[in-house]
A and B are shown apart, each in its own frame.
Chain A
Amino acid sequence: MRRRSFLTAAGLGAGTLFATAACGGESSGSSDSTAVKVAYQQWGSGTIMKDYLSGLKTSYEGANPGKSIELVPIVASENDYYTKLQLMMRSPRTSPDVVYEDTFLINSDITAGYLQPLDSFLGSWDQWDQFQDTAKGAAKAADGKTYGVPDGTDTRALWFNKQLLTQAGLPEAWAPTSWDDILTACREIKGKVPGVTPINIYAGKAAGEAASMQGFEMLFYGTGSTLYDVASDKWNVASPEFRDALTVLKTFYDEKLCPDPEIALDAQISNRVGEEFLPGSTLAIALDGSWMSNNWLETGGAPWPEWSQLMATTPMPTKDGSAPGKISMSGGWTWAMTKNAANADEAWKVISTLTAFENNLKYNIANASVAVRKDVAQDPEYTGSNQTLEFFSSLVPVTQYRPQNTDYPRVSNEIQVAMEAVVTGQASPTEAADAYDEAVKGIVGEEKTATL
Chain B
Amino acid sequence: MATLTRPTPPSSPPGVDPHRRTHPLRVDIARALPLTPAVVLLLVFLAGPIVWCCYAAFTNTALTGAGSGATQFVGLDNFRQAFGSEAFRNSVVLTLVFTVLSAVVGQNLLGLALALLQKRSAKVVRTLVGTAVIGAWVIPEVVAGYVWYAFLSKDGTFNELIAGLGLSQNWLYTLPILAVSLANVWRGTAFSMLVYNAALSEIPQEIEEAAEMDGATGLSRLRYVTIPMIRRTVTTNLMLITLQTLSVFGLIYTMTKGGPGTKSQTLPLYMYEQAFSFSQLGYGTAIALVLLAVGAVFSVVYMRLLREEA
Which residues of A are at the interface with B, using a C-beta cutoff of 8 A?
A: 7, 10-11, 13-15, 17-18, 79-80, 82-83, 86-87, 90, 105, 108-109, 111-114, 204-206, 261-263, 265-267, 406, 409-410, 413, 417, 420-421, 424, 426, 442
Contacts and interface: CB of A to CB of B under 8 A. Distances in A.
Given A83-B63, A420-B260, 8 more contacts: A14-B41, A83-B276, A112-B68, A205-B259, A262-B174, A265-B173, A265-B261, A406-B65
Interface in B39-60: 41, 45
B261 A417 contact: yes
Nearest to A13: B38
13 contacts: A10-B35, A15-B37, A82-B64, A112-B69, A204-B261, A205-B262, A206-B257, A262-B174, A263-B154, A265-B261, A266-B173, A406-B66, A420-B260
B73 interface: no
Contacts of B262: 205, 417
Interface of A is mostly: helix
Contacts of A109: 64
A261 B173 CA distance: 9
A420 B34 contact: no
B112 interface: no
B276 A108 contact: no
B189 to A, nearest CB: 28
Contacts of B235: none
B61 to A, nearest CB: 11
A344 B68 CA distance: 23
Interface string B61-88: 0111110110000000000010011000
Nearest to B260: A265
B34 A406 contact: no
B279 interface: yes
A267 B259 contact: yes
A205 B190 CA distance: 34
B43 to A, nearest CB: 12
B197 interface: no
Interface in B233-287: 257, 259-262, 276-279
B226 interface: no
A114 B259 contact: no
A421 B261 contact: yes
Given A420-B260, A424-B261, A108 B41 contact: no
B170 interface: yes
Contacts of A417: 261-262
Nearest to A113: B69
Interface in B159-174: 170, 173-174
Nearest to B154: A262
Contact of A262 (B170, B257, B276): B170
A108 B65 contact: yes
B49 to A, nearest CB: 15
Nearest to B35: A10
Nearest to B174: A262
B260 A262 contact: yes
Contacts, number: 99
B91 to A, nearest CB: 14
Nearest to A7: B34
A83 B66 CA distance: 15
A451 to B, nearest CB: 23
Contacts of B154: 262-263
A206 B256 CA distance: 9
B63 A86 contact: yes
B261 A420 contact: yes
Contact of B41 (A17, A80, A90): A17
Nearest to B84: A442
A16 to B, nearest CB: 10
B261 A205 contact: yes
A413 B278 contact: yes
B260 A206 contact: yes
Contact of B69 (A105, A111, A204, A262): A111
A421 B86 CA distance: 14
B64 A108 contact: yes
Contacts of B257: 206, 267
B64 A79 contact: no
Would you list the 5 A-B pairs with minimal beta carbon distance, nearest first? A112-B68, A14-B37, A108-B64, A406-B65, A262-B173
Contacts of A205: 259, 261-262
B63 A87 contact: yes
Contacts of A80: 276
A108 B278 contact: no
A120 B34 CA distance: 57
Greatest chain A CB density within 10 A among B34, B41, B63, B259 is at: B63
Nearest to A83: B276
Contacts of B174: 262
A17 B41 CA distance: 8
A10 B279 contact: no
B261 A409 contact: no
Given A205-B259, A420-B260, A424-B260, A112 B62 contact: yes
A286 to B, nearest CB: 21
A11 B34 contact: yes
B278 A10 contact: no
Contact of A112 (B64, B81, B84): B64
A406 to B, nearest CB: 4
Interface string B14-48: 00000000000000000000110110010001000
A395 B268 CA distance: 42
B45 to A, nearest CB: 8
A112 B170 CA distance: 42
Contacts of A15: 37
A83 B261 CA distance: 22
Nearest to A208: B277
A63 to B, nearest CB: 35
A79 B68 contact: no
Nearest to A86: B63
A341 B75 CA distance: 35
A108 B279 CA distance: 10
A7 to B, nearest CB: 5
Contacts of B170: 262
B126 to A, nearest CB: 35
Nearest to A109: B64
Contacts of A267: 257, 259
Greatest chain A CB density within 10 A among B62, B173, B257, B260 is at: B260
